[in-house]
Amino acid sequence: MDELGDILIAGTGPVAVQSAVLLGRLPGALGIAGRASERSAAFFAALEANGGTVLAEVQNATHAALAGECRIEQRFRGYGSVAGTWNTLVLAVTADAYLPVLRQLASEVLAGFERIVLLSPTLGSGALVREYARAQGADPEVISFSSYLGDTRWPEGTPGASVLTAGAKARIYAGSSRGASPAVRRLRAVHEAAGTDMTVLGLPAEAEARNISLYVHPALFMNEVTLRAVFAATQT
């Protein structure tokens, strides 16, 4: 069996669609789940109308390896409706939604995951997810990326079955709670085949610390003490 096994993608945005196209090239089943909302309803409606097939197109010929399509056999509207046994959970949602998504999954579904992949974490996301899983009696491998591999959007600005990837990073980083595991090596191969180099680091937090957003938008440091030092008239 492939190192990632059967893969469930959590999220119904452009990142989830592009990820599905890349991961759909691997052996094993592929499923997608989303929250119950108007935007996800529009996505699922478009997916049904397209026979369950999603499409990724690219803006530049240099990123042609990211283009393609795949059919998503299993689709779940609402995370609480996820059923079956899945080997890998890919969280293609924002970092602040990680725990809300995990909390909605049935306990037996969460217990079945051998690994959880965080595509767009912030600093500490891996530890947060790992501790939550452990509190529920699960012990999955947690893999954090430094960031999502590119810039993907809806071509028409509204959710649909196709996405446009306008740019891709030359390099990203990844770290696992279990070191250079077979799953990490497989993910690196998938990304490198798509034209993005993946450097494997020792821990999830090491990869998370390579996210440039931490320094461009440093939410961790926007507290009262720091704001006073930046904007107050007194010398620091």
**H/E stretch holding 1:** none
| 125 in Cβ contact with 118 (< 8 Å) | yes
Catalytic residue among 39, 134, 217, 228: 217
Q: What gap in Å lies between CA 162 and CA 3, rounded to an integer?
A: 27
Q: How far apart are CA 209 and CA 197, in angstroms?
A: 17
Residues 6+ apart with CB under 8 A from 207: 121, 144, 145, 146, 173, 174, 175, 201
140 φ/ψ angles, rounded to the nearest 5 degrees: -80, 155
Phi, psi of 169 (to 5 degrees): -75, 145
Task: Give catalytic status of residue 191 as yes or no.
Answer: no
| Strand (E) or helix (H) holding 219 | none
Q: Counting every residue, how long is the chain?
A: 236
User: For residue 129, which phi and psi values (nearest 5 degrees)?
Assistant: -65, -40
- Tell me the C-alpha distance between 60 and 62, whole Å: 5
Rg (CA), the chain: 18
Could you give the residue numbers annotated as active site? 217
